């Protein structure tokens, strides 16, 4: 199982990922005019259904409908105004809590209004045409109808909300996925470096453009693709070459790759975001830069890749791209089904990110 030690960067990442579901309330805004109108119309339809459902034919029906409408509208509008008032409070709670509590509130309102109606009718001998059954029968009858209708309504709102969330998620994931894997900064900074080099050292600009093209070609491929380890390493070296042009002496990097079989498959560009993080947090904030070390080992049929960097001692810690680590974790999960892991920790101002993946070759896949 992927395991994560407590490091603020990553914890934040997980939180952000879950936030959209927690923060959006499934109950619509009942204060909106459109919703009030919908409640009135649905209430009226319910009153009509209730009036015509018993199989009898007499003139009294119209009177029944009028009184039923009055009662149903009263209930409907009271319930929706209660939900409207409570909405700001509901925002702070989970949807499960909101669902249960709003259902109970609706039932409570129905009980109170039924009691009130019963009392008024009995006290003033109104609507003699309607022969009320016993007190308890009346209450139970209303509670049952109200309970079923409101359960259906809440269920409908929930399903609609889920559907809306899904549409929203699908529309932004593609862009977010790309941003989780490479910072827009990198692209624009590289463009600027190329623009500068074109005049002074065209041959370096040319190579940098090639490196950049190769990286982006890989980025735009399908997410599930795997590449052989030697190719991954070359891509990472290209990435570092580009950044080295920009950062110069400030970026010191050491590669210590031993005995990893060249034919081992890894998810494409799984390491690049770690290098990017190392540069962002360890090198860029320091005037004198810092040191990055990439270590690769092959042990017990596992590839263990460590990216370590000196962490900036700067007073203000930079806010990072919180999605990168969460994204790597997710990709590892998708490729290796829990057999790979990423662990991050910090010790004596050095930050470590360790990825462990099982050894897979083309034939085994």
Partner 1 sequence: MKILIADDESLARDRIAYLLKEINPDYQQVEASNGLETIEQVNEEEPDVVLMDIRMPGMGGLEAAQHLMTIENPPAIIFTTAYDEYALQAFESQAVDYLLKPIRKERLEKALGHCSKLNKLQLEQLGQQNPETAHRTHISTQIRGTILLIPVKDICCFLADHKYISIQYNKDGEMAETIIEDTLKSLEEEFSSVFMRIHRNALIRKDKIEALEKKDDGRILLKLKKLPEGFEVSRRHLPSVRKLMKS
Site for partner 1 (CB under 8 A): which residue of 315, 337, 347, 348?
A: 315
Q: Which is nearer to partner 1, 63 or 286 (CB)?
A: 286
Residues 6+ apart with CB under 8 A from 287: none
Q: Which two tokens stand for residue 127?
A: 């609507």
284 near partner 1 (CB under 8 A): yes
Strand-pair category, 350-358 with 341-347: antiparallel
Measured in residues, the chain has a length of 365
175 near partner 1 (CB under 8 A): no
Minimum distance of partner 1 from residue 242's CB (angstroms): 11
DSSP symbol at 318? P
Ordered DSSP codes for 231-262 = HHHHHHHHHHHHHHHHHGGGEEEEEEE-S--T
Q: Are 92 and 152 within 8 A, CB to CB?
A: no
292 near partner 1 (CB under 8 A): no
Q: Are 208 and 187 within 8 A, CB to CB?
A: no
**Which range binds partner 1 by CB under 8 A, 43-51, 68-76, 241-249, 322-330?**
241-249
Give the three-state DSSP class for 127. coil
Backbone angles phi, psi at 297, to 5 degrees: -130, 155
Site for partner 1 (CB under 8 A): which residue of 46, 247, 269, 326?
A: 247
Cα distance between residue 282 and residue 290, in whole Å: 6
For the segment 183-222, give every residue that binds partner 1 (CB under 8 A): 184-185, 187-189, 191-193, 195-197, 199-200
291 near partner 1 (CB under 8 A): no
Q: Which is nearer to partner 1, 47 or 194 (CB)?
A: 194
246 near partner 1 (CB under 8 A): yes
Specify which residues 308 forms β-bridges with. 293, 352
Q: Which is nearer to partner 1, 33 or 315 (CB)?
A: 315
Q: Which is nearer to partner 1, 155 or 318 (CB)?
A: 318
For the segment 136-165, give every residue that binds partner 1 (CB under 8 A): none
Residues engaged in binding partner 1 (CB under 8 A): 184-185, 187-189, 191-193, 195-197, 199-200, 245-248, 250, 284-287, 314-316, 318-319
């Amino acid at each position: 199982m992927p395991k994560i030690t407590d490091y603020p960067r990553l914890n934040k990442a997980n939180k952000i990922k879950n936030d959209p579901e927690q923060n959006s309330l499934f109950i619509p805004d009942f204060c909106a005019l459109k919703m009030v109108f919908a409640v009135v119309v649905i209430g009226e339809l319910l009153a009509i259904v209730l009036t015509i459902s018993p199989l009898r034919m007499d003139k009294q029906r119209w009177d029944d409908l009028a009184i039923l409408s009055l009662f149903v509208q009263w209930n409907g509008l009271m319930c929706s105004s209660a939900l409207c008032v409570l909405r700001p409070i509901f925002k702070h709670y989970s949807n499960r809590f909101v669902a249960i509590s709003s259902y109970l509130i609706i039932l409570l309102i129905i009980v109170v209004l039924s009691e009130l109606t019963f009392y008024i009718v009995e006290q003033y001998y109104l609507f003699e045409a309607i022969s009320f059954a016993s007190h308890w029968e009346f209450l139970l009858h209303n509670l049952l109808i109200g309970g079923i209708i409101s359960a259906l309504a809440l269920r409908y709102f929930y399903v609609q909300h889920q559907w809306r969330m899904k549409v929203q998620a699908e529309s932004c994931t593609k862009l977010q996925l790309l941003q989780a894997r490479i910072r827009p900064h990198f692209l624009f900074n590289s463009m600027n470096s190329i623009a500068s080099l074109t005049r002074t050292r065209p041959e370096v600009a040319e190579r940098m453009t090639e490196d950049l093209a190769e990286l982006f070609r890989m980025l735009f491929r399908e997410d599930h693709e795997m590449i052989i380890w030697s190719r991954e390493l070359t891509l990472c070296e290209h990435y570092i070459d580009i950044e080295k042009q920009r950062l110069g002496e400030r970026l010191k990097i050491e590669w210590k790759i031993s005995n990893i079989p060249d034919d081992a498959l890894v998810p494409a560009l799984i390491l690049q975001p770690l290098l990017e993080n190392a540069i962002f947090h360890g090198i860029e904030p320091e005037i004198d830069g810092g040191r990055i070390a990439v270590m690769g080992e092959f042990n017990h049929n596992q590839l263990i890749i460590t990216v370590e960097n000196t962490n900036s001692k700067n007073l203000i810690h930079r806010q990072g791209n919180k999605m990168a680590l969460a994204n790597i974790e997710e990709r590892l999960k998708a490729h290796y089904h829990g057999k790979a892991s990423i662990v991050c920790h910090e010790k004596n101002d050095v930050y470590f990110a360790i990825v462990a993946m099982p050894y897979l070759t083309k034939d085994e896949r």
